[in-house]
Amino acid sequence: MTLIRSSSSKKEKADEDIPDAPAAAARFMRNSQHPLIDDTDDLPPAYSAIDPHTSAEGISSSEVAALATGDLKLVEKKPNELLATKTISLKHPLYIHTNNVSSSSLIVEHDTNPDNHGVVVVRAEVKAQMPDIKDRCSITMSLNDQGEYDIFVSFKWTLLNAFSTKCDFVVRVPTAFNITHPGIRAELSNDHVGMGCLDNVTFGFVDILTSKANVSLMAVSGKRICIRTSDGTIEATCVKTEGELDLSTSNAQITLSGLRCTNISARTSNAKVVFQDITGHNVSVKTTNAKVKCDGANVEDLHITTSNALIETDNINVDFLRLNTSNARIEGVWTIKSLLDVTTSNSKIEGTILLNNPQERASILLNTSNSKIAATLPASVFCGTFDVKTSNSRAEVEWASDSLSEEQLLQYVVNSKAYKRGTLGARKELRHELAAKSSNAPIEIRFVDECDLH
C-alpha cells in the first residue's frame, strides 16, 4: 500500500460534489478539508501523508520535505482492523474527525517512549464488522489550510456498516517539562473522551464535540477548554485555564473538583451538578430538575441555577453570589463581599451569612413563597438596614447577642407582626442592606455573636 497524490481531475470532481456541512457542525468544522462524500473513489487517497487540497504557500521547503518523508505507518491487523500511526511536530494543532463511523473515542495521554522528544504520536485504530476494511476505509493525516494537522477517518457508507464501524484515536504527548501544544479539536460520537495526567503540557485550546459519550479531564491545562457532549457525564479534576472552561451536556451529571480557571460555565439538564474547591473569577452553573451541591468556592462571581431541586452550598467565599431554584429549598453557609441574592418558591431558605469585608457596601436579598426564611448573621459586623416582610405569618428580627447589645443599636421604623423594617448600628455608618420576603410562612432573622455562628 503506497502513498500517492490524487490527480488534479479528481480534486476538481471532489470539489464539485461537496455538499453543505450540517448547520449544527458548522462552528466546529471551519472549512474542513475532507467533505462528506459517499464515493470513496473521489476522496483523497487512503493512507495519504499529504493533503492534496493543501496549498504549500507559507510552508518552508524543509517542512514540505519533512511531510513527504514522514510516512503514515499502516498495519492491517485483521481483515476488519486497521491501525494507522503518525508522528507529528508539537507545533501543529490537531483536528480529529470522522465520517460514516458509528462510534469514535479519543484518549490523550503521556507517551511512555522516552525517545519521542518534541513530537506527538497519533494513532487511529479502526474496526468494522465487514471484511476488506482497507477497500472501504480512508485514513488521512495531513496539514490543512488552517495550519492544523487534519486526522480524518472515513468509511464508504453501505447498509452493512451503518452501525458497525468504530474508530479509537490515541494522542500521546512527551513527558518533558513545560511543553506547549497549540491545541486539539475533535468531532466524535458515541464513545468516551479522556485526557489525563497532562500537567506538564499547556494546550492553546481544547475543543471537543461529541454525543452520547462520557468526557473526563484530569490534570489538564490550557488557555481555553470547550467540551460539548450529550447524554454523557462530564468530569473535570485539577483543570487549569487562563481563559474559559466551557462544559455542556444533557441528561447526565457534571462533577468538578480542584479547578483553577478564570471563567467557568457548566450546563446540563435533568441531572445534578457537584463541585468543590473551585477558584476563579466568574462561575456559572446551570441545570434543571436536579440538585446542585457545592463545597468550597473562592470566586468573584458565582451564579447557580436549577429548578424543582435543592441547592446545597458550604464554604462559599465570593464577592457576588446568586442562587436560584424553584419548588425546592436552598441552604448553606455563605461568605460574601458585595451581593447575596437567594431566590426560590414554595420552599425554605436557610443559611448563615458572613461578610468577608464589613467595611464595604453589601446587599442581602432573600425571596421565597409559601415557606420559611431563616437567616443568621454576625451582630458584630452588620451595620445597615433591614426590610423583612411576609403575609399570614410573623416576621421576626431577633437580637441574640449578649455581649454586643449596647454597641449595636436595633431600631424599628415599622414593627408589626408581619413586617419589620429598621436599622442596626449607628446611622452614619449604615452600609449593609438586608431584604427578606415570603408569604404564608414566618421569617426569622437572627443577629448573634460570631462564636455562635460555628
Q: Classify residue 343: in a domain, yes or no.
A: no
Report pTM: 0.82
Question: Are 141 and 212 found together in one domain?
Answer: no
Q: Which amino acid is at 203?
A: F
Question: Are 175 and 238 found together in one domain?
Answer: no
Question: Are 63 and 127 found together in one domain?
Answer: yes
Q: Classify residue 146: in a domain, yes or no.
A: yes
Q: Classify residue 341: in a domain, yes or no.
A: no
Q: Classify residue 185: in a domain, yes or no.
A: no
User: From the DSSP assignment, how many helices (H) and strands (E) are in the chain?
Assistant: 4, 32
Question: Are 15 and 160 found together in one domain?
Answer: yes
Does residue 345 contact residue 369 with C-beta atoms inside 8 Å?
Answer: yes
Q: Classify residue 404: in a domain, yes or no.
A: yes
Boundary (domain end) residue, out of 145, 180, 215: 180
Q: How many CB atoms lie within 10 A of CB 267?
A: 19
Question: Are 312 and 364 found together in one domain?
Answer: no
Does residue 332 contact residue 349 with C-beta atoms inside 8 Å?
Answer: no
Does residue 230 contact residue 251 with C-beta atoms inside 8 Å?
Answer: yes
Question: Are 221 and 306 found together in one domain?
Answer: yes
Boundary (domain end) residue, out of 336, 371, 389: 336
Question: Are 157 and 299 found together in one domain?
Answer: no
Cell numbers standing for residue 275: 463541585
Boundary (domain end) residue, out of 336, 365, 390: 336
Per-residue pLDDT of the chain (454 residues; tens, 9 = 90+): 333 333 334 334 434 443 343 333 333 333 333 333 333 333 333 444 444 344 334 434 333 323 323 458 888 888 889 999 999 999 999 999 999 899 999 999 999 888 888 899 999 999 988 777 878 888 999 899 989 999 999 988 766 555 578 999 999 999 988 899 999 999 999 999 999 999 899 999 999 999 999 999 999 999 999 999 999 999 999 999 999 999 999 999 999 999 999 999 999 999 999 999 999 999 999 999 999 999 999 999 999 999 999 999 999 999 999 999 999 999 999 999 999 999 999 999 999 999 999 999 999 999 999 999 999 998 888 999 999 999 999 999 988 766 555 556 788 999 999 999 999 887 778 899 999 999 999 999 999 877 776 5
Distances (CA, A) of 293 to 91, 127, 180, 280, 376: 40, 41, 35, 18, 21
Closest CA to 227 of 177, 277, 261: 261
Question: Are 81 and 122 found together in one domain?
Answer: yes
Cross-strand bridge partners of residue 274: 255, 293
Q: Classify residue 228: in a domain, yes or no.
A: yes
Number of folded domains that form the chain:
3
Question: Are 166 and 211 found together in one domain?
Answer: no
Question: Are 216 and 157 found together in one domain?
Answer: no
Q: Classify residue 186: in a domain, yes or no.
A: no
Domain that holds residue 249: 192-336
Question: Are 23 and 164 found together in one domain?
Answer: yes
Question: Are 294 and 370 found together in one domain?
Answer: no
